[in-house]
C-alpha cells in the first residue's frame, strides 16, 4: 500500500515536471519560424526558398543533438538511475532556452539548439521511469497521463509563446525600448528558461529515484563510448525481438511524417493569403497549437484509459496513425475561412497523435519486459531512431518546401503535406506483420 502511494506521488511529481518541461519547450513553436527567417535574412539569405530552408535546418539541429545523445542518456539512466538524468536535462533546457532568445546569427542559433537537444533525454527517461514503477495493468493509463502532460504543455506553451512574442509592440511600457525592439523573441525564451529552472527545483526536491541500485546495469569499461555507443544502440536493434523492432520502426515513420509537418506548418499558415496560405501571425499560430494541445489532453488524459479497456491497444495505435495522416494531408487544402474547417483538420492530427503515443509506448513496454530487456535501453533506442526521424523530417521538409513553394501543377506547397500522408500509410503497412508476445495486450 505504501509502495503504491509512493508510486502515485511520484507520478504526480513526474507529471508536473514533464508539464513544465513541455511548456518551456513548446513556447518557441509559434515564433521559431519567424525568428529563423529574420536571422536568415540578416545573414543575407533573402531568397524565399533559401530562407525557409534554414527553418528546417535549425529545427533539425535540436533533434540531431537528441539523435546523438539520447541513447547515451538512456543507457546512463540504466546505470546511474533515472533521477540524475532528468535533472541534467532540466539544467540543459534552462541554459540553452535563454541563450536561444539572444541568438543574433543563424550559426549561434544552430549551435544552441543542438546543445539543447544533446542535453535533454527526458522523454525517454520519463517513459522508462513510468515502466519502473508500474505494473502491466497500470502502464497504459500512466503512459496516457504522461501523454496528457505533453498535451497540456503543448496547449499552454504555444499560447504563452504567442502572447509574449514582440513585447515592445504587444505590451509597450517597460518593454518599449530599443533593446526589446531588437530582441522581440527573447521574453518567451526567458520565460521558458525560468519554467525549466522551476521544474528542476521541483524534481530536485520531490522526485525520488525509481530504479533501485540492485536493478541497475553495471559499467562496462570495454563498452563503446560516445558516438560509437549511438551506433551500437541503433545497430543493436536488429538483435532485439521482431516485435520491438517493428514498434520502433512504426514510431520512427510516424515521427518522420509528423515532424515534416511541424517544419512547414507555420511556413504555410504564415504565407500570404494571395499565395495560398492563411496569413497567420505568431499569436494566431499559438492559438492553433494550443487547441491541438487541448484535444491531446482530452484524449490522453481522459479517453485513453476507457478506450484501452474496450479496444486492443494495437487497433487504437493503427487508428491513431490513420486519423493523424488524414489531418496532415488535409492541411494545404485549408482556407482562411471558415475557421472551423481548419479546426477539424487539426482535431484529426491531435486525436490521432493522442491515440498513437500512449498505445505504442504501452506495447513497446510490454514487449521489452517480456523479452527481459533493459527498459532504459529500449526507450533510448526508440528515442534515438525517433530523433533520427526528427532530424530527417524537418530537413527534408525544408528542402521540399523550398523547391516547390513557387511551383505549379503537382509540385507545389501541397507536396510536402501529401508526402506526410503517404508516410503514415507506410507506417500502417509496416505493422501488418507485427507479432507480439502471447497475451501481452491482455495483461
Tens digit of pLDDT for each residue in 315-347?
Answer: 899 999 999 999 999 999 988 877 777 888 999
Flag whether 217 is in a domain: no
Is 323 in contact with 351 (CB distance < 8 Å)?
yes
Flag whether 113 is in a domain: yes
Q: Quote the pLDDT of residue 443.
A: 45
Place of cell 539543447: 116
Instruction: Name the nearest CA neighbour of 23 among 162, 196, 205.
Output: 196
Residues 435, 443: Cα–Cα separation, whole Å: 16
Boundaries of domain holding 377:
2-211+226-442
Quote the DSSP letter at residue 135. -
Flag whether 261 is in a domain: yes
Tens digit of pLDDT for each residue in 69-106?
Answer: 877 787 788 888 888 988 998 898 899 989 999 998 89
Tens digit of pLDDT for each residue in 164-182?
Answer: 988 998 888 899 999 999 9
Tens digit of pLDDT for each residue in 250-268?
Answer: 999 999 999 899 888 888 8
Residues 44, 38: Cα–Cα separation, whole Å: 10
At 48, which CATH number? 1.20.1250.20
Cis peptide before 235 (omega within 30 of 0): no
Q: Quote the pLDDT of residue 31.
A: 87
Residues 286, 408: Cα–Cα separation, whole Å: 30
Q: Is the pLDDT of residue 417 over 90?
A: yes
3-state SS, residue 182: helix
Question: Which pLDDT band holds residue 440 (cuts at 50, 70, 90)?
Answer: very low
Is 330 in contact with 336 (CB distance < 8 Å)?
no
CB atoms within 10 A of CB 392: 19
Flag whether 221 is in a domain: no
Domain count, the chain: 1
- CA dihedral in degrees (6, 11, 17, 21; nearest 10)? 160
Flag whether 426 is in a domain: yes
Residues 64, 384: Cα–Cα separation, whole Å: 9
Q: Is the pLDDT of residue 153 over 90?
A: no
CB atoms within 10 A of CB 111: 17
C-alpha cell read off for 83 = 533521477
Tens digit of pLDDT for each residue in 207-266?
Answer: 888 877 776 766 554 455 545 666 766 676 766 777 888 899 999 999 999 989 988 888
Tell me the CA distances in angstroms from 47 to 44, 73, 110, 278, 332, one per residue in order.
9, 39, 20, 21, 22
Is 82 in contact with 129 (CB distance < 8 Å)?
yes
DSSP assignment of 108-125, as one string? HHHHHHHHHHHH--HHHH
Residues 71, 230: Cα–Cα separation, whole Å: 6
Residues 223, 286: Cα–Cα separation, whole Å: 45
Amino acid at each position: 500500500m505504501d509502495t503504491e502511494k509512493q508510486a502515485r506521488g511520484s507520478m504526480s511529481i513526474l507529471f508536473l515536471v514533464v508539464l513544465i518541461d513541455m511548456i518551456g519547450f513548446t513556447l518557441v513553436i509559434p515564433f521559431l519560424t519567424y525568428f529563423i527567417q529574420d536571422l536568415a535574412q540578416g545573414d543575407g539569405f533573402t531568397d524565399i526558398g533559401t530562407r525557409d530552408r534554414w527553418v528546417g535546418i535549425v529545427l533539425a539541429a535540436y533533434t540531431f543533438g537528441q539523435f546523438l545523445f539520447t541513447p547515451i542518456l538512456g543507457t546512463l539512466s540504466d546505470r546511474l538511475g533515472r533521477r540524475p538524468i532528468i535533472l541534467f536535462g532540466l539544467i540543459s533546457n534552462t541554459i540553452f532556452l535563454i541563450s536561444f532568445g539572444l541568438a543574433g546569427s543563424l550559426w549561434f542559433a544552430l549551435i544552441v539548439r543542438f546543445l539543447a537537444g544533446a542535453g535533454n533525454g527526458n522523454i525517454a527517461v520519463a517513459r522508462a521511469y513510468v515502466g519502473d514503477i508500474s505494473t502491466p495493468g497500470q502502464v497504459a493509463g500512466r503512459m496516457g497521463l504522461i501523454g496528457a502532460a505533453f498535451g497540456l504543455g503543448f496547449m499552454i506553451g504555444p499560447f504563452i509563446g504567442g502572447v509574449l512574442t514582440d513585447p515592445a509592440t504587444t505590451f509597450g511600457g517597460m518593454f518599449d525600448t530599443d533593446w526589446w525592439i531588437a530582441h522581440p523573441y527573447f521574453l518567451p525564451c526567458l520565460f521558458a528558461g525560468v519554467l525549466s529552472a522551476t521544474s528542476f527545483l521541483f524534481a530536485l526536491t520531490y522526485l525520488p529515484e525509481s530504479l533501485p541500485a540492485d536493478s541497475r546495469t553495471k559499467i562496462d569499461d570495454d563498452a563503446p563510448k560516445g558516438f560509437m555507443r549511438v551506433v551500437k544502440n541503433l545497430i543493436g536493434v536488429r538483435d532485439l525481438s521482431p516485435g520491438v523492432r517493428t514498434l520502433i520502426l512504426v514510431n520512427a515513420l510516424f515521427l518522420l511524417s509528423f515532424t515534416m509537418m511541424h517544419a512547414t506548418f507555420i511556413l504555410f499558415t504564415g504565407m500570404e493569403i494571395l499565395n495560398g496560405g492563411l496569413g497567420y501571425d505568431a499569436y494566431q499560430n499559438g492559438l492553433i497549437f494550443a487547441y491541438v494541445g487541448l484535444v491531446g489532453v482530452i484524449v490522453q488524459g481522459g479517453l485513453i484509459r476507457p478506450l484501452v479497456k474496450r479496444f486492443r491497444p494495437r487497433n487504437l495505435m493503427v487508428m491513431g496513425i490513420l486519423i493523424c495522416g488524414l489531418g496532415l494531408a488535409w492541411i494545404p487544402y485549408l482556407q482562411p475561412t471558415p475557421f472551423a474547417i481548419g479546426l477539424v483538420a487539426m482535431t484529426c492530427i491531435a486525436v490521432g497523435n493522442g491515440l498513437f503515443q500512449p498505445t505504442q509506448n504501452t506495447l513497446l513496454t510490454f514487449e521489452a519486459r517480456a523479452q527481459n530487456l533493459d527498459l532504459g535501453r529500449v526507450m533510448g533506442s526508440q528515442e534515438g531512431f525517433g530523433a533520427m526521424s526528427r532530424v530527417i523530417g524537418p530537413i527534408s521538409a525544408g528542402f521540399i518546401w523550398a523547391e516547390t513553394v513557387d511551383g505549379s501543377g503537382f509540385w507545389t506547397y501541397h507536396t510536402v503535406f501529401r508526402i506526410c500522408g503517404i508516410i503514415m500509410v507506410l507506417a500502417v503497412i509496416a505493422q501488418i506483420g507485427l507479432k507480439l508476445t502471447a497475451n501481452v495486450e491482455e495483461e
